[in-house]
Amino acid sequence: MTAFADLGLSESTLQALQDVGYEKPSPIQEQAIPPLLNGADIIGQAQTGSGKTAAFGLPILEHVDPDEKEVQALVLTPTRELCIQVTQALRTYGARKGVAVVAVFGGAPIRTQQSQLHDGGQVVVGTVGRVLDLMGRGSLVLSSCRFVVLDEADEMLDLGFLEDVETILKNTPNGRQTALFSATMPPPIRALADRYLYHPEVIKVKSQFLTVDTVEQFSLQTKANEKADTLVDVLAAEKPDQAIVFTRTKIRADQLFRKLRDRGMNVKALHGDMSQGQRDGVMLSFKGGRVPILVATDVAARGLDISTVTHVVNFDVPVSPDVYVHRIGRTGRVGRSGRAITFVEPRQTRELAAIEKHVGQAITPWEAGAHTKPAPIEERPRRHSKPQLSRNGDEPYAKLIAAGGRADGVEVSDLVHAVTHEAGVDGEAVRDVKVLERFSVLSVPASEADRIVDAVQSLRLAPARLSAA
């Protein structure tokens, strides 16, 4: 059995691993750490939760000199949630060596991050947009950056960041060492690797196959024009505590969200065209159990760990068997059972066969009434969406103040989205929205002000009533 001590790590790093209770390396760590320590570029294909942060983080910390003030390593992440997670891990691993790790991401004051960079950070972990912003302001200089990691590159592709990623890479030294990690390898990611990595070693860690004991898997043959109606029937029959419905495209996610909402369902959408503030609001509602159905693109599958999800529905067949495994892994968490139902159009039988071969089992056809509900958390009544309230234009208005402004990355659309989606108020009823440096103001119908405040109080962007207009 391989131990961390066999991988060529220094004593201080081994002590740091002992501090956090790591006993033996995961497969991706065992395969990626030695070549990274030897200076090779790598492409690592591994799922979230495989231990890849330590796989690239430990070699970074071995190479970094804590006595040099310049930025020596950059880790690019697609979302601020992942940025924070990676930063916390690297700070833990590098604590004994005294390496400074700085996190830079949108939605937080840029001046604070500029100050942290000025004070010296050998390792920077950042989201693509904020890294570019800081580079443009001259606050982040990468001329001494010897190590670059692209973490979850396929999600960067889904969010439309690849062009910006290339801009950042062009501003790092040609002799840098580069590691690219991605759960899947679509052609644009492969092309990026061909352009910016030098003779990379390819490491592919097989997905841990899910068993029927954890997730019951079903397929359902349906015609393309009948899928939305079929979904309504399936959700009515399954009565999920919480379900994620996956679509291939952002447009399809929006269309399906509207159809389900119009059928009276309490549903939210999550995809890459939404602002970070909008995504935060949706995730808070879903994680808090206030929304039972989430319609999402694969961007939502990255790092999404919500133990109350009982069902995954693949409204569109996933683009690859790897993506299928990643999607259905969003249910059956923490020892609970889950159910995954995949809609298959007549022309997609080949894709289904490829999935069955990948998971090593036949997928059972779904039939209404021929199943049992997954291990319940508790029986909950079906929830319905809030009514959209129309306005006559003559009623009195009240001002609300939100604890967040430009410095926090808040946009007008975030405020309107919070009120319309959480409180069910018609968007035309939200007036005079102003985003200032530290807070924001907006006007809403006075008769609805208290209810709106109650509805959005759990969001990170939480307005509090000021006065009647």
Helix (H, G, I), strand (E, B) or coil at 198: coil
pLDDT score recorded for residue 134: 96
Contact 62, 125 (CB under 8 A): no
pLDDT score recorded for residue 49: 60
Q: Give the model's confidence band at 132: pLDDT under 50 very low, under 70 low, under 90 confident, else very high.
A: very high
pLDDT score recorded for residue 439: 67
Residue 97 has pLDDT above 60, yes or no: yes
pLDDT score recorded for residue 304: 61
pLDDT score recorded for residue 460: 46
What is the value of pTM for the model shown?
A: 0.53
Q: What's the Cα-to-Cα distance from 340 to each of 58, 219, 248, rounded to whole Å?
A: 36, 8, 16
Average pLDDT score over the chain? 81
pLDDT score recorded for residue 140: 96
Q: How is residue 196 written in tokens?
A: 């910016």
pLDDT score recorded for residue 457: 61
Domains of the chain: 4-204 (3.40.50.300), 215-365 (3.40.50.300), 397-468 (3.30.70.330)
The DSSP line for 374-424 is -S-S---PPPBPPPPBP--S-S-EEEEEES--GGGT--HHHHHHHHHHHH-
Query: pLDDT, tens digit, for every residue of 212-252?
Result: 457 889 999 999 999 999 999 999 999 999 999 999 888 89
pLDDT score recorded for residue 462: 37
Over residues 103-111, the mean pLDDT reads 89
Per the model's pLDDT, the better-predicted residue between 37 and 273 turns out to be 37
pLDDT score recorded for residue 15: 87
pLDDT score recorded for residue 303: 53
Contact 78, 156 (CB under 8 A): yes
Over residues 426-444, the mean pLDDT reads 71
Query: pLDDT, tens digit, for every residue of 159-194?
Result: 788 999 999 999 999 999 999 998 888 899 999 999
pLDDT score recorded for residue 197: 95
Per the model's pLDDT, the better-predicted residue between 415 and 465 turns out to be 415
Q: What's the Cα-to-Cα distance from 397 to each of 4, 387, 390, 430, 463, rounded to whole Å?
A: 63, 20, 14, 9, 15
Residue by residue, what is the 3-state secondary structure of 244-261? EEECCCHHHHHHHHHHHH
pLDDT score recorded for residue 104: 94
Q: Give the model's confidence band at 467: pLDDT under 50 very low, under 70 low, under 90 confident, else very high.
A: very low
Over residues 413-433, the mean pLDDT reads 69
pLDDT score recorded for residue 422: 67
pLDDT score recorded for residue 233: 92
pLDDT score recorded for residue 204: 86
Q: What percent of the chain has pLDDT over 90?
A: 38
Highest average pLDDT, of 46-55, 122-131, 242-251, comes from: 122-131
Identify the bridge partners of residue 341 per DSSP, sorted by sequence position. Answer: 218, 313
Contact 28, 202 (CB under 8 A): no
pLDDT score recorded for residue 469: 32
Residue 145 has pLDDT above 60, yes or no: yes
Contact 467, 398 (CB under 8 A): yes
Strand arrangement of the beta sheet that strand 440-445 belongs to: 431-435, 440-445, 397-402, 463-468
Question: Exposed/middle/buried for 254, CB within 10 Å: 0-12, 13-18, 19+?
Answer: middle
Per the model's pLDDT, the better-predicted residue between 304 and 462 turns out to be 304
Q: Give the model's confidence band at 333: pLDDT under 50 very low, under 70 low, under 90 confident, else very high.
A: low
Q: Give the model's confidence band at 372: pLDDT under 50 very low, under 70 low, under 90 confident, else very high.
A: very low
Identify the bridge partners of residue 148 per DSSP, sorted by sequence position. Answer: 74, 178
pLDDT score recorded for residue 258: 92
Residue 25 has pLDDT above 60, yes or no: yes
Residue 207 has pLDDT above 80, yes or no: no
